[in-house]
Amino acid sequence: MENNMFCFQCQETAKGTSCILKGVCGKNATTARYMDLLLFVVRGISVVADQLRENNVPVDRKVDSFVVDALFSTITNANFDDESIVRRLDDGLQMRDSLKAQAVARGVSLPAVDELEWTGEREAYDGKAATVGVLREKDEDLRSLKELIVYGLKGMAAYLEHAMRLGHDDESIHRFMQHTLAQTATGNLSAAEWTALALKTGEVGVQTMALLDRANTTAYGHPEMTSVDIGVRHRPGILISGHDLHDLEELLEQTRDTGIDIYTHGEMLPAHYYPAFKKYPHFAGNYGNAWWKQREEFASFNGPILFTTNCIVPPLPNAEYKSRMFTTNATGFPGCKHIGNGTDGHKDYSEIIEMAKTCQPPTEIEHGTIVGGFAHNQVLQLADKVVEAVKSGAIRKFIVMAGCDGRMRGRDYYTAFAESLPKDTVILTAGCAKYRYNKLPLGDINGIPRVLDAGQCNDSYSLAVIALKLKEVFGLQDLNELPIVYNIAWYEQKAVIVLLALLSLGVKDIHLGPTLPAFLSPNVAKVLVENFGISGIGTVDEDLEKFGLKNA
Ligand code: SF4
Ligand code: SF3
């Protein structure tokens, strides 16, 4: 049992096939197995919840929250803490059994699946886990399609959770999520039907990203063009990482007039683009780069670090900054303090704040500014200028380079690609992929920066809104007639929902790199290539050629 796992959900999976002894991400085999069992339990809960709804029996909202949180906790680099996963298993099995009891009481019949029937105490979790993972599906193609869908649902869950924390929810998304999870336990679908369900997942992904966009912009205003400081000030700081804007708001509120500055890291950078956060004079700037640089950058930051979501890089055993790491929401790391919700629904950051007061100010690692804030509202305000630039030929093409960053060496490609693009092209981006080129001096075209950063990976929704608007303005029938090409980088499962969302909108010819997902079987990859024109990346030169961008 020791050292026995199977996970291939992210881009850096071992040897480009699967992690079977330990995750390249640092996930232990035991954690991986507990996560497999958690997904088993979530499937069981979803089977009953789905049947109850089919029979018009209302399902408690706690079920929705549980499923969303459980899926989120299994996303790459979100949670490394066995204890917190095991607690979710205890709670989940209890929830499943109480839903089953409701079904019995209401005369709702349930399918005979292991996900509903298995009972076992903590001591049995590990043994059971080894039998319910990804490899339980023996057919390689069905396995591939099911996992594609489940990874999409994980990304969807993450975005839905952020919206829910801001008081925005949509019952139909939960229904879809649980219905689809139930299908993965009971459904006997053909490959074509699973493919259709994957596209449907993308469609609901668009709906979820739209919900989160509404939640964020209702609470904090529309992102606007903003210069973000990347240097440091002279007071102690707290570094906040991840995607959850509500956590940031509470942290900013609680650190008012405390003599502490707040800095963002990684995917929290776009928070600076929101008007509501500009009113905090102690919201100092962005420190560092994408998630995978955290071992060096957290050491030199000197103050406490709060993870609101993935991506956590497990600190080395002797890392001094580990004692300064805090987690919240679905994240967890053994030995790091987890900040939960108080009884009033608010979080209490006083321990982090007190620690910060005893810390040295951050050590400067760079200085200057970066510009972003080009979500749909801001870009649409500039629409006349943009359309004019396209019509005059000043802008020849937009290149969507959204997605994730990662530590694989081949990702240098994205820096070289951005540098090699002709000067009459504009990069549209969202997600932490931007760190590969957002500090390059790429200049502007008639005042329009050549890198337009819409925000976090979920703000890829903004890029879709912009594309749809341009299609309308240019009177085109099809999104693919626009002068936009897609060269997307992926790493974890949020990128999977973004990809499925783009496919569901009819976007074709997406280049996906730095490597194609290991979870795509050769046959499934073939379907994606033939029907959607998905392809991997080549060399910078080859790809510039393919995109018709070779000769400026
Ligand atoms: Fe491997 Fe990625 Fe799974 Fe981690 S999340 S175990 S790196 S495939
Ligand atoms: Fe980055 Fe983890 Fe995916 Fe939100 S923070 S994009 S990798």
Q: What's the pLDDT score for residue 40?
A: 98
Residues paired with residue 453 on neighbouring β-strands, in sequence order: 429
Q: What's the pLDDT score for residue 342?
A: 82
What predicted TM-score, i.e. pTM, was given to this entire model? 0.98
Residue 473: strand, helix, or coil: helix
| Residue 169, ligand 1, Cβ within 6 A | no
Residue 3's pLDDT band, with cuts at 50, 70 and 90, is low
| Residue 267, ligand 2, Cβ within 6 A | yes
Please give the number of the atom of ligand 2 that sits closest to the Cα of 494: 3
Quote the ligand 1 centre to 415 CA distance (angstroms): 24
Read off the pLDDT of residues 15-44 as tens digits, 9 standing for 90 and up: 999 999 999 999 999 999 999 999 999 999
Read off the pLDDT of residues 316-374 as tens digits, 9 standing for 90 and up: 999 999 999 999 999 999 999 999 988 788 999 999 999 999 999 999 999 999 999 99
Share of the chain above pLDDT 70, in %: 99
Instruction: Tell me: pLDDT of 550 over 90.
Output: no
Alpha-carbon dihedral 286, 159, 309, 507, rounded to 10 degrees: -70
Q: What's the pLDDT score for residue 344?
A: 85
Secondary-structure class of domain 377-546 per CATH: alpha beta
Q: What's the pLDDT score for residue 2?
A: 54
Residue 404's pLDDT band, with cuts at 50, 70 and 90, is very high
Please give the number of the atom of ligand 2 that sits closest to the Cα of 76: 2
Number of H helices, E strands in the chain: 18, 15
| Residue 429, ligand 2, Cβ within 6 A | no
Q: What is the DSSP letter of 502?
A: H
Please give the number of the atom of ligand 1 that sits closest to the Cα of 76: 5
Per-domain residue ranges for the chain? 14-196, 226-357, 377-546
Residue owning the nearest CA to atom 4 of ligand 2: 457
Residues paired with residue 283 on neighbouring β-strands, in sequence order: 262
Instruction: Tell me: pLDDT of 552 over 60.
Output: no
Read off the pLDDT of residues 304-330 as tens digits, 9 standing for 90 and up: 999 999 999 999 999 999 999 999 999
Q: Which of the four CATH numbers 3.40.50.10470, 3.40.50.460, 3.40.1690.10, 1.20.1270.20 does domain 14-196 have?
A: 1.20.1270.20
Report whether the peptide linkage leading into residue 514 is cis, meaning its omega lies within 30 degrees of zero.
Answer: yes
Residue 187's pLDDT band, with cuts at 50, 70 and 90, is confident
**Domains 14-196 and 226-357 in one fold:** no
CATH architecture observed for domain 226-357: 3-Layer(aba) Sandwich (3.40)
- Pairing mode, if any, of strands 237-241 and 305-307? parallel
Share of the chain above pLDDT 90, in %: 97
Instruction: Tell me: pLDDT of 7 over 70.
Output: yes
Residue owning the nearest CA to atom 3 of ligand 1: 7
Q: What's the pLDDT score for residue 23?
A: 98
| Residue 435, ligand 2, Cβ within 6 A | no
Read off the pLDDT of residues 502-545 as tens digits, 9 standing for 90 and up: 999 999 999 999 999 999 999 999 999 999 999 999 999 999 99
Please give the number of the atom of ligand 2 that sits closest to the Cα of 431: 6
Size of the chain, expressed as the number of residues it contains: 552
Task: Judge whether 487 and 397 are in contact, CB under 8 Å.
Answer: no
Q: Is 472 exposed, middle or buried (0-12, 13-18, 19+ CB in 10 A)?
A: exposed
Task: Judge whether 335 and 387 are in contact, CB under 8 Å.
Answer: no
| Residue 495, ligand 2, Cβ within 6 A | yes
| Residue 455, ligand 2, Cβ within 6 A | no
Instruction: Tell me: pLDDT of 485 over 60.
Output: yes
Quote the ligand 1 centre to 405 CA distance (angstroms): 15
Please name which of 11, 70, 75, 107 lies closest in space to residue 518, comparing C-alpha atoms: 11
Distance of alpha carbon 485 from alpha carbon 372, whole angstroms:
20
